[in-house]
Each structure stands twice: as structure tokens, then as C-alpha cells.
Amino acid sequence: MGFSLLNKYYDLLFPANLIVVDRLERLFTLGKKLLDAGCGTGNYALSLAEKGFEITGIDINPEFIKLAKKKAQGKENLKFITLDLTSFHLEESFSGIYCIGNTLPILGLEGIKKALANFFNHLIPGGLLIGQIVNFTLFLNTGTYPFPEKKLPEFDLIFRRRYELTGSQVRFFIELIFPQKGEIYTDQMFLYPVTVDELKTLLEVAGFRKINFYRDFTLAPYDLEGRDLVFWAQK
């Protein structure tokens, strides 16, 4: 129930970060044709399309794609398709692909392998893959992860998240709390906690040759105590 209800508030809780948009614009210099892999409701695709990029957004969630298409009406340089990152095939190649918002760990280890292979196959020579995931090394080393609590007082909503290690997986819990109504909706899913060393190996196996890791989208050097793991890899 929690994740389906989250769709209603997704754009308010997860707007496009302008620092991320600016960094993506600066990094994708080879061409203007991009694939947004795991596009959600299309916020980043819309922002980059406004900067002149031609964006194809794909996501397995048909409700997200429906919302993205509605926002993209009248924009010729935007299209959205319901597709699975682990099995998609498009009859076109891209100068760049981005997969952000901790999408990859949702796929599980085998799914990550398949998605990275798909990304590689859909890039032109020299094309760039940019990704962002949680720095799971921080969580695995400390047992905690600093999720900020998000509040939307105009909707009487508090949004909370937390992780719990369960064997080789991370259980991801969400809570949507409506204090005035006295209602709480919860949900959970499993994530694969891929670490920086394992991700480097997976990218190399997929065929990528130049790989760099960062702490965040400021491109500060990666460190074990950072919240995020940002990477770019070149075909």
C-alpha cells in the first residue's frame, strides 16, 4: 500500500535536484541523445529536455510512465516507454545514459548485471553511463544510514525511510504518516547492497573501460563515509 500511495506524492518528495541537472548537462558532451533509465515520473528528463537534450525515458512502473507522458505533452524531444531495465531493447543508440536515484539496487545482483549489459549495448562508442546509488559501504560498516525525514505540511504528510540488513540483502522500509488523520501506511522492498568494489567489477564485466567514482554530484572524490556513490563509466 505504501509504495502505491507514494506515487501520488512522488513529484513533491523527489523533485529534480538542480545541482544534479547541471552536472549531467556538463558531463554529457558527446551528444544530445540520452536515455533516462529508471525515469520515474520524468522530472530529470523534463529538466534536461528544456536544456536541448533529446530524452527517452524508460521505467517498469506504468503509473510513473503515465504521469511522465502527461507532463511531456507537446514536447517533441521527449518520449517515455514502460520497459524493464533488465530486458529492454530499443532500435537506437544513445550518446549518454543516466540511472540515478538508487535504481540499480532494486534490481538485485543478477538484474544489475543485465541492466549494465543493456546500458553498454545501447551506448554509441565513447558514450557515457552516469549512475547514482546509496553508498552501501557506509551502511554495512555502521549499521545505519542517514535518511532525512521529509515533511509536506500542506498535505499533512511525513515521509520516513530506513534500512535493515537481512542476510545478503537490505530491507528498505518506508512510512507515510498523516498525523492529523492518525493514519500510517508502511511498505518494504529488498535491495542488493552493491559496494564500490563490486560495482567496479560489474561495470568492467559489462565492457566499460574508463570508470570513476565520486562522493556526490559535486564530483568530490569517493570516500567510505559519504551518503552516496556517484559513478561514470565510458564505453
Average pLDDT over residues 68-77: 94
What type of residue is 188?
Answer: Q
Rounded percentage of the chain residues whose pLDDT exceeds 70:
99
pLDDT tens string 19-40: 999 999 999 999 999 999 999 9
pLDDT at 2 over 90: no
- Residue (of 225, 229, 222, 231) closest to 139 by Cα position: 225
Average pLDDT, the chain: 95
Strand partners, 173: 162, 188
Average pLDDT over residues 30-52: 96
For the whole model, what pTM was predicted?
Answer: 0.96
> Where do the structural domains in the chain lie, given as residue ranges?
9-135+194-234, 138-191
Average pLDDT over residues 91-115: 97
Determine the pLDDT at residue 110.
98
Strand partners, 58: 37, 81
pLDDT tens string 176-213: 999 999 999 999 999 999 999 999 999 999 999 999 99
CA pair distance 8, 66, nearest whole angstrom: 12
CA pair distance 202, 198, nearest whole angstrom: 6
CATH superfamily of 9-135+194-234: Vaccinia Virus protein VP39 (3.40.50.150)
Determine the pLDDT at residue 175.
95
CA pair distance 102, 82, nearest whole angstrom: 19
Rounded percentage of the chain residues whose pLDDT exceeds 90:
95
For the chain, state the CA radius of gyration: 18
